Amino acid sequence: MNILFLSLLGFDSIEERSIYTDLLREFSKRGHRVYVISPVEKRMGTDTHIIEEENATILRLRIGNTQKTGIIEKGISTVMIEPTFKNAIEKYFANVKFDLVLYSTPPITLVSAIEYVKKRDGARTYLLLKDIFPQNAVDMGMLSTSGIKGLLHGHFRRQERKLYEISDRIGCMSQANLEYLLAHNEEVRDRDNRDRKLGGKGIVEVCPNSVEVIDKSVDGETWQRIREKYGIPTDKTVFIYGGNLGKPQGIPFLIECLRKCRDIENVFFLIIGDGTEYGLLEDYASGLAQENLRLMKRLPKEDYDTLVGACDVGMIFLDYRFTIPNFPSRLLSYMQARLPILAVTDPNTDIGKVITDGELGWHCESNDAEAVADKIKRIRKEDRRSKGNKAFDYLSEEYSASGGYEIITRSLEKL
């Protein structure tokens, strides 16, 4: 098959490591030809160009600035993304007949480009549903269903519905994700029911975040070297949080938990990442002498993965206000490093249930910092190694890129 992957993520090779490139690499290894459109913003000073790999073609498409710019330029650039992608397909891939279009949310703004390829080539379309927008923005208070923000919400909601409409199959991150989608989208639910009545398995299925299964745990010598390199205590249980530090992660509550844990013996917290709320953590870390806390900016992926392997427990935080069931992909890096996971989340996601049912770690709701502190005190004394090994085994069984490939290709066979 010729596969077109549309993304707003920037990457130069499918050999890079992420939930998307690992999946695309699996398609490539199975003999399919992969084509990718990956944007590069004007501020980077790079023109549109093509990168050719053994079984992949990556179009680095120059678009307007949507980050680190003013609101007017950002707005214009965002509006132009959709026609820019469509025009690029017409120009650079005019002679390629695509069999499958893969795309993810975010964004929801590539509808016309997807629809164009579907009609032109008779291509099948598969949505990897990684985010439910605009409801997530409503949950975080960035949009509302009334007033001026309500007009924006209405526009994005119509685009969301259109995206679902043109998707032949929709892969959800988890069962709770799937159930939410069906419960809140009547048109999707009706299509899913019709497909089942005709003998199919429905148009919606669980297709979780997945990666190439690589054991990234470290040996004793590396563990010692990494901890010394980054100034991490060798005599304490290290809890690491790595990734985005934005509103979805509920950073004010994370800070409240850190404050509650400042005097717990033999515990150390390592926070690594960046995002819109990084400044809150920076202000807290610099304004209060908390000896068991280290805040670091985002590291290169290979360095970060090695550092994760030298820690003891991986942490996930989600804002308690969420009504949509998120399933953060940062879980996978912890599993690769054989770390047990402490998930501190809203009650609507099922990531905590997956972790506790599988004995991969622990779960707390993200509205009680005292309960989180008590849990951390208990974790110090528990058998973390067995839970970490179970986490790696669970990754191999449920979240492998090869498994994701099989889910998608089996689903498409029914079309």
CATH number at residue 224: 3.40.50.2000
Domain limits for position 279: 220-398
Q: Are 213 and 301 contacting, i.e. CB atoms less than 8 angstroms apart?
A: no
The average pLDDT across 1-25 equals: 93
Q: Could you tell me if 48 and 175 lie in one domain?
A: yes
Global model pTM greater than 0.95: no
Q: What is the pLDDT of residues 261-285, one digit of tens each?
A: 998 999 999 999 998 899 999 999 8
Q: What is the mean pLDDT of residues 247-270?
A: 94
**Per DSSP, what are the bridge partners of residue 103?**
6, 127
Task: Assign residue 187 a region (left: φ > 0; alpha: ψ between -120 and 50; beta: otherwise).
Answer: alpha
Note whether 120 and 24 are same-domain residues.
Answer: yes
Same domain, 391 and 404: no
Residues 73 and 64 sit within 8 Å (Cβ to Cβ)? yes
Count structural domains, the chain.
2
Reply yes or no on whether the pLDDT at 325 is more than 80.
yes
On whether both 199 and 310 belong to a single domain, the answer is no
Same domain, 71 and 169: yes
pLDDT in tens, 165-201: 999 999 999 999 999 999 999 999 999 999 999 888 8
In whole angstroms, what is the distance from residue 380 CA to residue 289 CA?
22
Tokens 């526009």, residue? Answer: 155
Residue 66 pLDDT > 70, yes or no? Answer: yes
Let me know whether 21 and 146 are in one domain.
yes
Q: Are residues 47 and 99 in the same domain?
A: yes
DSSP labels, 129-195: E---TTHHHHHTTS--SSHHHHHHHHHHHHHHHHHHHH-SEEEESSHHHHHHHHHH-HHHHHHHHHH
Q: Are residues 136 and 275 in the same domain?
A: no
- Percent over 70 (pLDDT), the chain: 98
Rounded Cα gap, residues 153 and 293, in angstroms: 39
Confidence of residue 205 (pLDDT cuts 50, 70, 90): very high
Does residue 53 sit in the same domain as residue 152? yes
Same domain, 393 and 407: no
Helix, strand, coil abundance in the chain, percent, nearest 5 = 45, 20, 35
